Amino acid sequence: MREPVVFIVDDDAAVRDSLTLMIEQAGIRVQSFENAQAFLSAYRSHFFGCIIIDVRMPGMDGLRLQEELAWRKIVLPVIFLTGHGDIPMSVRAIKGGAVDFLTKPVVREKLLVCVRAAFAEAKERMSDIARSRGIKSCLAKLTGREREVMILVVQGYSNKEVASRLGISHRTVEVHKSKIMYKTGAINLIDLARIARESDLIE
């Protein structure tokens, strides 16, 4: 996995410099941006790590940037940093998925604890994405009929019931199930149901 980077978005150059120094002294790479648009313009899909965002900035503020990240499916964990925070603001940020909501001036140890927690979250999110892609790749191998059989099977229908619903023979259902298990890599029906849920085939 790539080396994580802390991306700082803050319109105050002194704050960017201070945060960069604190984080780099811990041996962690940093990239800083003076506003939300500068970060969004520079963002690339290979970016990995976390993002520290100032709440109050000219143009797009921090909370709006958080919403934009979600809309663009940018999965970098967010740490908010503000000198003018309030409870409703922090609640909105945390509900939006922020890892933490810190106030300026931030203590170095507290900041680094948050950054490392965000890095752990980033690794988990990347693992989830990789697993999801793997599942989608497996499901893409299924024929339309196999997908129909899979949905009915994980919903609890017996082979006989699946055969009746689809107008095929009991033996054909068994053949389809065997192929489904092989193509998806499922070890049993419980595992197959998990795969179906994670791929949104069933609720």
What is the pTM assigned to this prediction? 0.70
* Residue range 5-132 in CATH 3.40.50.2300: yes
Q: What's the CATH number for 141-198?
A: 1.10.10.10
Q: In angstroms, what is the C-alpha Rg of the chain? A: 23
Task: Give the span between the Cα atoms of 47 and 40, in whole angstroms.
Answer: 11
Taking the domains of the chain in order of start, what are their residue ranges? 5-132, 141-198
Residue in the block written with tokens 């648009």: 37
Ranges of residues in the chain with a pLDDT under 50 are none
Quick check: bond before 58 cis, omega within 30?
A: no
What is the pLDDT, as a whole number, of residue 1? 60
Taking a C-beta distance cutoff of 8 angstroms, is the pair 118, 97 a contact? no
What is the identity of the amino acid at 203? Answer: E
Closest CA to 4 of 33, 29, 26: 29
CA quadruple 159, 163, 168, 170: dihedral sign: positive
Taking a C-beta distance cutoff of 8 angstroms, is the pair 151, 196 a contact? yes
Which tens digits make up the pLDDT trace of 130-176?
887 878 888 888 888 989 989 999 898 999 999 999 999 989 999 99
What is the pLDDT, as a whole number, of residue 135? 81
